[in-house]
Amino acid sequence: MKDNQSIAELLKNVNTAYLTDAEKYETLARAERAEYIVSGIASAVKAVKKAVVKLKSALVSSPAQHA
């Protein structure tokens, strides 16, 4: 199992002393948005892959069916 950290947790380790509070919040919001989008795309790819495998197994006939 992977031990993934969220973007918010990773950004806590970055020196943001030169940024204003507004810039910090904007950076965090953009990073979380990007993380959400990537997560959604990954879920969609997994769903498509699962559907393709299921369709492929349904279309491929086994030798036992013709015996």
How much is the pTM? 0.67
Give the contacts of 6 (CB within 8 A, at least 6 positions apart): 32, 35
- Cα 52 from chain centroid (whole Å): 19
Tokens 């989008």 found at: 37
pLDDT in tens, the chain (67 residues): 467 888 888 888 888 899 999 999 999 999 999 999 999 999 999 999 999 999 988 888 666 555 5
4: phi then psi, degrees, rounded to nearest 5: -90, 140
